[in-house]
Structure 1
Amino acid sequence: MKLAVVGGGSTYTPELIDGFARLRDTLPVNELVLIDPAAQRLDLVGGLAKRIFARQGHPGTITVTSDLDAGVRDAGAVLLQLRVGGQAARNEDETWPLECGCVGQETTGAGGLAKALRTVPVVLDIAERVREAAPDAWIIDFTNPVGIMTRALLQAGHKAVGLCNVAIGFQRKFAALLDVTPGEVHLDHVGLNHLTWERAVRIGGPGGENVLPRLLAGHGDAIAADLHLPRTILDRLGVVPSYYLRYFYAHDEVVRELRTKPSRAAEVAAIEAQLLDMYADPALAEKPELLAKRGGAFYSEAAVALASSLLRDTGDVQVVNTYNNGTLPFLPDNAVIEVPATVGASGTAPLPVPPLDPLYAGLVANVTAYEDLALEAALHGGRDRVFKALLSHPLIGQYEYADALTDRLIAHNREHLAWAR
């Protein structure tokens, strides 16, 4: 079984490699190819990846290359984890929206749109080349914004599934709080990528006892602290929102905070510099503890489970980003939602979802409409399309803000937007 990782020079990659090594019975990889145009980073990451495999006794081979077509040829699955423009572009996404009083974040709001505009054309070009070199390969997208990326891939006819680590992070956290194994925890996880809620936490299976009320009663303060939301909000809602919901539920508070501290991109860039220094040490043969501060917790477990289900036709249930196809009846069938789904060789089939409360359905419908317009802007370009996408976003919604943000978005991303040069 051959897998390829596009963006293999990412400092995330050792987390993924560690998962492949530990979980080799779940996903027996014979050949793993790391692909990245950044040769120096790729060599450092690739060297550590090989040492991790060797330390853990994994028999598979790891190769590195900047040749995308050769790297993906005959792969069973291709994982996408790229960042167009690097941390420098992310830093801009997180700063210029603040000039207009809007949240600066790499997947949400104006910054998220900028990332989508830069990334969709690149991802679609990669996917077309994968289709030529490995026509049977599954594309697993971890590249943000995952919902828009997955919609672009599926709309273009690719065999693609979107992956996020939010659900598996909650599963692991709740399992620890309940003193049970992660496999015993089943989430009623529903919404869009980075716009989800845990409406129930069941033990022993999808039809098991809902212990969410017990979790909130016994551990509500700790859960709320992790989300940077007041405990009272969780108690009043009776659900656990994704931490990305803070950008919606406490937008102005977040803007005030972001204006007083360095961007997350600046923090990550500093962490990455330290990590790359560590990766250069030939004695290092395991992922360093510092990597946990980089983000992406449990990404490896989620990626291994999803690839295994697709390639080995296990038919198990995982939280994925996939076409709605009637699951949420108030959305179009071709909207991309994030819900539990049965996963196998033929793809994904979302499980039935209980009706969504209007409090959540209204926001999901609004953001879905924004994602429609965002994808149109990414595919076809043009200032007017960018303006309409921004105007439709629930965190913006005023024409003066949308106009000002459009000008800033184009100015800061002109080199990545062919239509704007």
Structure 2
Amino acid sequence: MENGIKIVTIGGGSSYTPEFVEGLIKRYDELPVRELWLVDIEAGKEKLDIVGSLARRMVKKAGLPMEIHLTTDRREALRGADFVTTQMRVGQLKARIQDERLPIKYGMIGQETNGAGGLFKGMRTIPVLLEISEDMPELCPDAWLINFTNPAGMVTEALLRYGSHPKVVGVCNLPINTKMTLARLLGVEVERLEIDFAGLNHMVYGLDVRVDGESVLNEVLDIMSDPEKQVSMKNIAPLPWEPGFIKSLGIIPCPYHRYFYKTGDILEKQLEEFKTGTTRAEVVQQLENELFELYKDEHLAVKPPQLEERGGAYYSDAACNLISSIYNDRGDIQTLNVRNDGALSDLPRESAVEVNCVVTKAGPKPVPVGELPVSVSGLVQQIKSFERVAAEASVTGSYEKALLAMTINPLVTSDVKAKQLLDEMLEAHKEYLPQFDGELTHR
């Protein structure tokens, strides 16, 4: 790192890449990136070229000596890397459409990180990330693997349990998004706000909120009880919480908790969208097409504002803050997916959890939390069981484990339907599930 930093982004043809590049440009004084390698597969080469050209224009406009390399040769890119970020979608948006539409067909919620859709996204993704994890000890043994790929909790669980590379961190934009939103609703600068996050990815709770060190949890619960002031994200329907429920819960749920606490309302909305053919995946497909048309413009040399409609607000802040804090040994607090190591006493030490961590050059160290409140501990443990069994199914290609994972998840409502749905989804995604080849013919 003496001559500057080498970062490799796998899934570099993603529509999110300009946001990441903007984050690196903004922080160049503290994070001198010498080389950024954008890597994608052959099927994503056209998008990689479009995004890569925009990235080069952005760097040129900023007047920085940052080299942008584009390649489909992952091993070439990894050699000598300091940080490796992953932001891939195995099967691209076509697969996401199946993940969302097929469960709805069976009367269940279709979503890319939860339920049956989350299981299949994980099973397509985990083997690819484990291959990257196998390459890194040989090609870049000191690099940190920073995963943004969803379902980030399940993926981090698999990398920690089955991966060959120990320096793994999962990152999500949800905690930073929540913090920014609450700061705005409270009318305070974000630097004055602290939130004690604990749980799992997309299943994380705010146990306390402080402004200038003083708890304002009750004030935040009052705000969240107001239907006009919702903490949500672009990809989740902003259904208002019941005031009585928020007060009785006594801690802050995240937007994804709506899938578990408001299942019927979300499903009803999804069934309406299903009939009109406008699931979130189709909306994203349209947004992606529009973004890439913008990216092609040779006069564009900044991240276009339309990217924020894509649902990844603060993505680059989460990624770049983590890289900068490791590089600069900053010792600040960030909310990350890491090995539990006893931070949450009601979950296994070796499992992935999403908690506040102190970030140093030695990596993130989780801040001890103790037990989760009894009101949420059961649901968190159920989702962790799902993630563990799903990770095992991903690695072994076991039909039985995949069926078990599906039925453990509370968004899958019937074991009979679960088997039918599993069979249909295995068939729909078989191109991206080679580990299940034998199972497809013998079940």
TM-score tier after normalising by the smaller chain length: over 0.9
Determine if the alignment matches structure 1 residue 256 to structure 2 residue 268.
yes
Which stretch shows the higher mean deviation, 171-180 or 216-225?
A: 216-225
Determine if the alignment matches structure 1 residue 275 to structure 2 residue 291.
yes
Give, in angstroms, the shift of residue 339 of structure 1: 0.6
Question: Which of 249, 270, 285 is equivalent to 1:237?
Answer: 249
Q: Which residue of structure 1 aligns with residue 80 of structure 2?
A: 74
- Give the 5 Å matches for 1:292-371: 292-371=308-387
Residues 190 and 285 of structure 1: CA distance in aligned 2, closer, same or farther (over 3 Å): same
Q: Distance in 2 between matches of 1:131 and 1:149?
A: 19
Helix, strand or coil at the partner of 2:116: helix
> What TM-score do the two structures reach when normalised by structure 1?
0.95
Determine if the alignment matches structure 1 residue 181 to structure 2 residue 197.
no
Q: Distance in 2 between matches of 1:29 and 1:52?
A: 14
Q: Which residue of structure 2 aligns with residue 285 of structure 1?
A: 301
Q: Distance in 1 between matches of 2:350 and 2:398?
A: 24
Contact (CA 8 Å) 1:22, 1:56: kept in 2 or not?
A: no
Which stretch shows the higher mean deviation, 76-85 or 118-127?
A: 118-127
Residues 106 and 54 of structure 1: CA distance in aligned 2, closer, same or farther (over 3 Å): same
Identity of aligned residues (%): 39
Contact (CA 8 Å) 2:202, 2:257: kept in 1 or not?
A: yes
Contact (CA 8 Å) 2:357, 2:364: kept in 1 or not?
A: yes
Helix, strand or coil at the partner of 1:272: helix
Q: Distance in 2 between matches of 1:142 and 1:382?
A: 26
Residues 6 and 225 of structure 1: CA distance in aligned 2, closer, same or farther (over 3 Å): closer
Q: Distance in 1 between matches of 2:87 and 2:47?
A: 14
Unpaired segments ≥5 residues, structure 2: 233-237, 438-443
Q: Which residue of structure 2 aligns with residue 5 of structure 1?
A: 9
Give, in angstroms, the shift of residue 389 of structure 1: 0.7
Contact (CA 8 Å) 2:223, 2:229: kept in 1 or not?
A: no
Give, in angstroms, the shift of residue 224 of structure 1: 3.0
Q: Which residue of structure 2 aligns with residue 23 of structure 1?
A: 27
Unpaired segments ≥5 residues, structure 1: none
Which stretch shows the higher mean deviation, 221-230 or 307-316?
A: 221-230
Contact (CA 8 Å) 2:178, 2:231: kept in 1 or not?
A: no
Give, in angstroms, the shift of residue 24 of structure 1: 1.7
Q: Which residue of structure 2 aligns with residue 228 of structure 1?
A: 239
Give, in angstroms, the shift of residue 57 of structure 1: 2.9
Determine if the alignment matches structure 1 residue 85 to structure 2 residue 96.
no
Residues 397 and 265 of structure 1: CA distance in aligned 2, closer, same or farther (over 3 Å): closer
Contact (CA 8 Å) 2:37, 2:77: kept in 1 or not?
A: yes
Residues 7 and 304 of structure 1: CA distance in aligned 2, closer, same or farther (over 3 Å): same
Question: Which of 134, 138, 154 is equivalent to 1:128?
Answer: 134
Q: Distance in 1 between matches of 2:85 and 2:63?
A: 23
Q: Distance in 2 between matches of 1:278 and 1:258?
A: 30
Residues 214 and 239 of structure 1: CA distance in aligned 2, closer, same or farther (over 3 Å): same
Q: Distance in 2 between matches of 1:335 and 1:235?
A: 30
Q: Distance in 2 between matches of 1:345 and 1:112?
A: 32
Helix, strand or coil at the partner of 1:260: helix
Determine if the alignment matches structure 1 residue 172 to structure 2 residue 189.
no
Q: Which residue of structure 1 aligns with residue 429 of structure 2?
A: 413
Give, in angstroms, the shift of residue 234 of structure 1: 2.4
Helix, strand or coil at the partner of 2:298: coil
Which stretch shows the higher mean deviation, 219-228 or 169-178?
A: 219-228
Which amino acid letter does the alignment assign opposite residue 389 of structure 1? A
> What TM-score do the two structures reach when normalised by structure 2?
0.91
Q: Deviations over 1:75-94 (max 9, x none)?
A: 10000000000000000000
Contact (CA 8 Å) 2:195, 2:210: kept in 1 or not?
A: yes
Q: Distance in 2 between matches of 1:218 and 1:397?
A: 33
The count of aligned residue pairs is 418
Q: Which residue of structure 2 aligns with residue 374 of structure 1?
A: 390
Q: Deviations over 1:215-262 (max 9, x none)?
A: 343564244373423241323323321111111011122111112111
Q: Distance in 2 between matches of 1:417 and 1:380?
A: 11
Q: Distance in 2 between matches of 1:236 and 1:289?
A: 39
Helix, strand or coil at the partner of 1:385: helix
Q: Which residue of structure 2 aligns with residue 100 of structure 1?
A: 106
Which stretch shows the higher mean deviation, 131-140 or 402-411?
A: 402-411
Which stretch shows the higher mean deviation, 377-386 or 306-315?
A: 306-315
Question: Which of 56, 67, 73 is equivalent to 2:62?
Answer: 56
Q: Distance in 1 between matches of 2:326 and 2:418?
A: 41
Q: Distance in 2 between matches of 1:2 and 1:67?
A: 16
